[in-house]
Homo-oligomer: A and B are copies of this chain.
Amino acid sequence: MIIVMGNEITDAQIGTVVKKIEAAGLKANISRGIERTVIGAIGDERKLEAEMFTSLPGVESAMHIAKQYKIVSRESHKQNTIVDIGGVPLGGNQIQIIAGPCSVETQEQMDLAAQFTHEAGCRLMRGGAFKPRTSPYAFQGRGAEGLAMFRKAAAKFKLPIVTELMDARQLDAFMEYDVDAIQIGTRNMQNFDLLKAVGKVNKPVILKRGMSATISEWLMSAEYIAAGGNHNIIFCERGIRTFETAYRNVLDVTAIAVLKKETHLPVIVDPSHAGGKAWMVPALSHAAIAAGADGLLVEMHPSPCDAWCDADQALTPAELKKLMGTAGAIAQAIGRTL
């Protein structure tokens, strides 16, 4: 940690900072410049917090120089981690497209969706049974009953299933229906009790980025899960909130490159929620794969116009098939497979 002090400080003020560093078991290195004095705290920085110093007289700022995340960092684990979702590897050279409807509606809809997902060549299926909706008056999902329909439909094509967990009290149902990968939604990225709960479970977790979460906060949320013992974590970029109103979110492709550098864990992209319109999905999917994403989480509905929610962002089965074609060609262009 580095502590920067102003240009009119006393020896006593420097002494207070040094004492606080030493009390935490670290050593202090003092460097007096012309306009500022800089004190470096040498040792395990994680014992210190910036606020311990910025409240002291004479201190202008304090900042960590080492990363605050550990288990999820590439510094601690150089090789790419491949996460196994019900037998399908995510994070290796092969790119995975996880497709399916926004929400589970009926058994028939799920049966059709599973068939189309399989026919398009996708090896994993998505679908929401518990739905986070902005309005309390909107359709809230089919709940545990929806998990049953999803499991039944996917089983026919041996597709592992991915679905969102909104509250720790729903975990039992997730275990009962043997959900293959648990998705933590954007609104729950910093629901720390929920992160702790999935940290103790033996299932891969897909952690979506918060609407306006920094890369660093996102990595720390993953560290919450990892610290509980569950290291099977997949990051999912789904667009961030900005000033732009022409589309729902801004897909942050830079985040893909930065995450691949900072962490050994897989990174996927949700192009459907990012843009919010089906017609944008191909361009965003292409960009995500070209930028290095390990997979996509795409909405496809047997009949988008009749979807119970997010009808305007689901691909048709034919559009999904076409996307698989171009996505495969781009994967090849950068030396990967689909």
Contact = CB atoms under 8 A, between A and B. Distances in A.
Contacts of A250: 240, 242, 250, 252, 254
Contacts of A314: 55
Interface of chain A, helix or strand or loop or mixed? mixed
A212 interface: yes
A238 to B, nearest CB: 12
Contact of A220 (B134, B277, B284, B326): B134
Interface string A270-302: 000011011110011011111110000000000
Contacts of A239: 254
A214 B246 CA distance: 8
A43 B52 contact: no
Given A38-B40, A246-B215, A258-B280, A55 B312 contact: yes
Contact of A254 (B56, B280, B312): B280
Interface stretch (A29-37, A175-183, A200-208): A29-37
A240 B196 CA distance: 26
A266 to B, nearest CB: 16
Contacts of A251: 252-254
A333 B40 CA distance: 44
Number of copies: 4
A284 B252 CA distance: 10
A15 interface: no
A328 B155 CA distance: 41
A112 interface: no
B187 A167 contact: no
B283 A253 contact: yes
Interface in A91-115: none
Contacts of A190: 132, 134, 187
Interface in A117-175: 132-138, 166-169
A148 B246 CA distance: 41
Interface in A205-248: 210-212, 214-217, 220, 223-224, 227-228, 239-247
Given A35-B45, A44-B34, A45-B35, A51 B220 contact: no
Contacts of A211: 210, 212
B291 A286 contact: yes
B166 A193 contact: yes
Given A49-B138, A56-B305, A212-B211, A7 B241 contact: no
Residue of A52, A166, A193, A287 contacting most chain B CB atoms (<10 Å): A287
Nearest to A277: B54
Contacts of A242: 212, 240, 242-243, 250
A330 B283 CA distance: 13
A265 interface: no
A283 B330 CA distance: 13
Contacts of A280: 254, 257-258
Given A35-B45, A254-B274, 18 more contacts: A51-B313, A55-B314, A68-B135, A133-B192, A134-B217, A135-B220, A136-B224, A137-B227, A169-B193, A212-B241, A240-B242, A254-B284, A283-B290, A286-B291, A287-B287, A287-B288, A326-B333, A329-B333
